A and B are shown apart, each in its own frame.
Chain A
Amino acid sequence: MSALGSRVTRVAPWARRTEADTVLEIRGLCVDYGLGSGLHAVSNADLVLHRGEVLGLAGESGSGKSTLVYAATRLLRQPGVVTAGEVRLHSRPAGPDGPIEVIDLLAAGERELKGVRWSQISVVLQSALNALNPVITVRAEFDDVMKAHRPEMSRAERLARAVELLEMVGLSSDRLRNHAHELSGGQRQRVMIALALALEPQVVIMDEPTTALDVVTQREILEEVISLRDRLGFAMLFITHDLSLLIELADEIAVMYAGRMVERARADSLFAAPRHPYTYGLLNSFPPMHGERRAMTGIAGSPPDLRAVPGGCPFHPRCPYAIERCATEEPPLVALPGSSRQVACWLHTGGEPVPGELARTDATVASGEAALPTAAAVRRLPVTPGWGSGE
């Protein structure tokens, strides 16, 4: 525990969020697939990740959530092209209290990127079986990473660190001798998470890490991830299509639709009082686990083809509240008065009367946005033994 013990943050990182605590900043990012093709996978996306925060990025397939983070981390492959925007990493290479060094990721050269990747930003991919090399052992995976980024470490140190990391994610050290195919889906994903944390990055990006797993395994891994976040204090960008999962897991949630950011809010506010009709529709697409059964409708229609995104607001053909303006003008993502919530919808910014279900009172907003999330509100997955049934 030597290396990790020193990094335990005494003060909860989210309790002292200020401007200086921004760690990853994405401004006006636009990504096309094929130059001049007109296929805009991401349009003018803004995203700010704070130190120690879990930011959820929710959206359906094709909404551009994975493209956004691949572009921001310079992992995007051809024919993906970044056409506009900036991405800045506010790095603290000397530790959480060290000086800030701003790195422009889109302008960075290969050398600079190599220094950032894995050691400052790491990515956990959805398919762990594809992400792990099938012909080498788990130990060799750890060795690869540490040889490349920490050449000063000796063989024994690397082994000790690999054992420590595996134990951290709840795997025994015998797993070091295994190849990827010998592990279950959940174990592979734990190895991926351990690898991602190997160099103590400041930002961990998780791209649908639990989508292929069973619910019970999914829950175990999420708990592991949250307790690691609490111990190590890294910031996490969690991408998923499962909004119901994010509400339990994330501090803040950004919702994407057709490559655009349509709403951003604190997780509990988003759940209790969604503002965008798409968010409202998504929340109503998950049948509840309690109470009376009632008919639900989901959202009519299907997500747009990115080659032919409807004009105006891209959601307007599916939106039950659409007004004339929605078909012609695209709403900007703006902060709602008196809060830090952001929404891109003419119903809220166009001076129109807002439908009741999109204007529910938001307790956290009403009590003043200065009220930072308390530990109780943030940690929605505490580790308590026992069964959940009777509670």
Chain B
Amino acid sequence: MNSPCDRSDEDNPVMSTQPETAQAATARVPAPSGVLALEARHLTKHFAVRSAGGALRRRRHLHAVDDVSLGLARGAVTSVVGESGSGKSVLARMLARIIAPSAGELLLDGEPLALGQRRRHEYAAAVQLVLQDPFASMNPVHRVSHHLARPLLIHGTPRSDLDSAMKALLRRVALDPPEQFMDKFPHELSGGQLQRVSIARALAVRPGVLLADEPVSMLDVSIRLGVLNLLAELREQERLAILYITHDIASARYLADDILVMYAGEVVERAPSISLTDSPAHPYTQLLLSAAPDPGRRVSTTPADRGAPPRLIDPGPGCRFQPRCPHAMEICRRESPPVFDVAEGHQVACWLQAPASERRGLLTTKSQHAALRRLEPIRDKGVKEAKPP
């Protein structure tokens, strides 16, 4: 993964060779390395749901994202993997400050950001979002040059430098020669080219963080890797902190350094990407991996799952995956699992992974102890099954 793409250097001028254009961006003092470019602590988003019973009924809430913490480091790709409805896009929009969180805080370059205080403009210069459908995220009546000029002008590039800045941006995303693309309308470009334009547009303000929400899922299979490799290159050459949101766990394994698996608005497992895909600890991650198409698989596997999608509106206590989980125990229905460390940097929120020493400490009441004793054999079996041989 060190050199995912072997394009020649002239195709990809690094930032230093560019004209100094974006004052707003250069005015920012780069944070010392080691500090996370963007950190989210306990981000939560609940949407109020209008219930059919009218105003007298209790207000209900859809728990889109519940207590998610993550850090995006410079020069690293973090991936969030989950099914539709797992809250991954809401998370990206909260990180981009398009949706205001219900609770939690954001830290930009290590500085807490009292929500709503710092001006959006400055935040947008540091954190940019690339969306899934490039055709829908471009204005069809404007040329590529318009889409690139707007962020440059808004963030302080003088008009005299505009042309060279736009060309440099297009070269950075390997749309070369840039003259060929500047005057095109969105419909004249292919999906892959257009997605590169939207990445170039995001790079115009020279952000430190790039949030990519399913950037390749709309693209043809043969050109997906090109866009993924471009992201990998931006990470290497420009030390961008990248969040890669996807439902395709194989592409996350390819691109990301770390993977977070989300289910029903919660992070259920996080680990370095190889460790997560080679030894998944959470039953949901195991289900996802066994369901993903994998021609290289030796033994056919079939996920034993007949579960309905999770209940997001006012979920009860307990683990949210529990109704679908083949290893569900009584405690899973009562109490939502805390996060356990299963290996270096590998964390999982599942009772199956509770170390023996902690099992009793976590449970305080007499009835819980009794229940646990009854469950002991099941639990040990579950642990054995869940771990790789």
A and B: interacting chains: yes
The listed residue (B2, B220, B278, B289) touching A388 by CB distance below 8 A is B289
Does A115 sit at the interface, judged by CB under 8 A? no
Count of chain B residues near A, Cβ 8 A: 58
A217-247 at interface with B (beta carbon < 8 Å): 218-220, 223, 241-245, 247
Which residue of A has the minimal Cβ distance to B255?
A287
Question: A385 touching B304 by the CB < 8 A rule?
Answer: yes
Does A286 sit within 8 A of B, measured CB to CB? yes
- Chain B 1-27 per-residue mask, 1 if CB under 8 angstroms from chain A, else 0: 111111000000000000000000000
CA distance in complex: A389, B305 (Å): 14
State the Cβ distance, A101 to closest chain B Cβ, in Å.
38
Instruction: Tell me which of B250, B286, B303 contacts A287 (CB under 8 A).
Output: B250
B302 near A383 with CB under 8 A, answer yes
* Alpha-carbon distance between A3 and B304 when the two chains are bound, in angstroms: 29
Partner of B290, one of A61, A271, A283, A387: A387
Select A387's contact among B225, B247, B303, beta carbons within 8 Å. Answer: B303
Chain A residues within an 8 Å CB radius of B251: 287
Q: Assess whether B253 is in contact with A385, with CB atoms less than 8 Å apart.
A: no
Interface: A366 (CB within 8 A): no
Q: Which residues of B have CB within 8 Å of A388? A: 286, 289-290, 299, 301-303
Of A184, A214, A303, which contacts B190 at CB under 8 A? A303
CB-CB under 8 A from A387, the residues of chain B are: 283, 286-287, 290, 301, 303-304, 326, 385-386
* CB proximity to B under 8 Å, residues A233-270: 241-245, 247-248
- Whether B389 contacts A390 by the Cβ 8 Å rule is yes
Query: Quick check: A303 and B296 within 8 Å, CB to CB?
Result: no
Flag the segment in A71-79, A294-302, A331-339 that touches B: A294-302
- The reply to whether A282 and B221 form a contact with Cβ atoms under 8 Å apart is yes
Tell me the nearest residue of chain B to A247, going by C-beta: B295
* Contact indicator B291/A381 (Cβ below 8 Å): no
- Establish whether residues B288 and A296, one from each chain, have CB atoms under 8 Å apart when the complex forms: no
Q: Does A351 have its Cβ within 8 Å of any Cβ on chain B? A: no
Q: Can you list, as one digit per residue, whether each of A372-391 has a CB less than 8 Å from chain B (1) or not (0)?
A: 00000000111111111111
When distances are taken between beta carbons in the complex, the residues of chain B under 8 Å from A289 are 249-250, 253, 277, 289, 292, 294, 296-297
Query: With an 8 A cutoff between CB atoms, is A111 at the interface?
Result: no
Q: Name the B residues within 8 Å of A184 (CB-CB).
A: 308-309
Pair count A-B, CB < 8 A: 164
- A268-282 contact mask (Cβ, 8 Å, vs B): 1 or 0: 000100000000011
Cβ of B296 and Cβ of A288 under 8 Å apart? yes
Residue A216 CB within 8 A of the other chain = yes
**CB-nearest residue of chain A to B281:** A389
In the complex, residue of chain A having the shortest beta-carbon distance to the beta carbon of B324? A216
Q: Do A286 and B221 touch across chains, with their CB atoms under 8 A apart?
A: yes
Contact A389 B220 (CB under 8 A): no
B9 to chain A, nearest CB (A): 17
Closest Cβ neighbor of B295 among chain A residues? A247
Known: A242-B293, A388-B301, A390-B385. A60 touches B250 (CB 8 A): no
| A293 vs B280: C-alpha distance when bound (angstroms) | 17
How far apart are the CA atoms of A196 and B1 in the complex, in Å? Answer: 45
A297 touches B225 (CB 8 A): yes
CB distance from B187 to the nearest CB of A (A): 12
**Cβ 8 A contact of A295, one of B3, B286, B293:** B3
A283 to B300 alpha-carbon distance, docked (Å): 19
- The answer for the CA separation of A211 and B294 in the assembled complex, in Å, is 16
Q: In this complex, which of A220, A247, A383, A390 has the most chain B Cβ atoms within 10 angstroms of its Cβ?
A: A390
B286 touches A215 (CB 8 A): no
Contact residues of A: prevailing secondary structure: loop
Q: Are B305 and A220 in contact (CB under 8 A)?
A: yes
Assess A287 versus B304: contact at CB under 8 Å? Given A216-B287, A299-B223, A390-B389.
Answer: no
In the complex, what residues of A have CB within 8 A of residue B309's CB?
A: 184
The answer to whether A281 touches B302 (Cβ under 8 A) is no
Q: Is the CB of B222 within 8 A of A287?
A: no
Whether A298 contacts B225 by the Cβ 8 Å rule is yes
Tell me, yes or no, whether B83 is within 8 Å of chain A by CB: yes
Do the beta carbons of B226 and A298 come within 8 Å of each other? yes
Q: How far is the CA of A90 from the CA of B255 in the complex (A)?
A: 48
Choose one: A247, A296, A383; the contact of B225 (CB below 8 Å): A296
Cross-interface CB contact of B84 among A214, A219, A282, A382, cutoff 8 Å = A214
Taking CB as reference atom, which chain B residue is nearest A387?
A: B286
Q: Which B residues lie within 8 Å of A170 (CB)?
A: 306
Contacting residues of chain B (165-212) with chain A, CB-CB under 8 angstroms: 190, 192-193
Judge if B254 is at the interface, Cβ distance under 8 Å: yes
Within 8 Å by CB of A214, from B226, B247, B290, B300, lies: B247
Within 8 A of A (CB), among B257-275: 274
Q: A220-B305, A287-B251, A390-B388 are in contact. Are A248 and B293 (CB under 8 A)?
A: yes
Complex Cα spacing A307 to B389, Å: 54
A328 part of interface (Cβ distance < 8 Å): no
A288 vs B278: C-alpha distance when bound (angstroms):
12
| Interface assignment of A290: CB less than 8 Å from any CB of chain B | yes
A215 CA / B222 CA spacing, docked (Å): 20
Establish whether residues B326 and A303, one from each chain, have CB atoms under 8 Å apart when the complex forms.
Answer: no
Residues B83 and A215 in contact, CB atoms below 8 Å apart: yes
A285 located at the interface, meaning its Cβ lies under 8 Å from any Cβ of chain B in the complex: yes
Q: What's the Cα separation between A155 and B124 when bound, in Å?
A: 63
Tell whether A302 pairs with B387 under 8 Å between CB atoms, given A385-B304, A387-B304. Answer: no
Whole-angstrom distance between the Cβ of B228 and the nearest chain A Cβ: 8
Does B368 touch A at the CB level, under 8 Å?
A: no
Q: Indicate if B229 sits at the interface (CB-CB under 8 A).
A: yes
**Is B146 part of the binding interface, using a Cβ–Cβ cutoff of 8 Å?**
no
Whether A389 lies near B1 (C-beta < 8 A) is no
Residues from chain B with Cβ under 8 Å of A386 in the complex: 302, 304, 326
How far is it, in angstroms, between the C-alpha of A236 and the C-alpha of B226 when the chains are bound?
A: 33
Task: Decide: A286 near B302, CB < 8 A? Known: A245-B293, A303-B220.
Answer: no
Residues in chain A near residue B278, CB distance under 8 A: 290
Residue of A220, A282, A293, A390 touching B274 (CB-CB under 8 A): A293
Does any Cβ of A come within 8 Å of B224's Cβ? yes
Q: A242-B293, A390-B388 are contacts. A287–B302 as well, Cβ < 8 Å?
A: no
Q: Which residues of A line the B interface, CB within 8 A?
A: 60-61, 170, 184, 214-216, 218-220, 223, 241-245, 247-248, 271, 281-283, 285-290, 293-300, 302-303, 380-391
Show 23 A/B contacts (Cβ-Cβ < 8 Å), sorted by A: A61-B220, A215-B292, A216-B287, A241-B221, A244-B293, A245-B293, A248-B297, A285-B221, A285-B222, A290-B278, A295-B1, A295-B4, A296-B4, A298-B224, A386-B304, A386-B326, A387-B283, A388-B299, A388-B301, A389-B290, A389-B385, A389-B388, A390-B385
Of all A-B residue pairs in the complex, the 4 with the closest CB atoms, nearest first, are A388-B301, A298-B225, A388-B290, A287-B254
Additional 5 contacts, C-beta under 8 A, given A170-B306, A215-B249: A215-B288, A223-B302, A248-B297, A296-B225, A298-B223
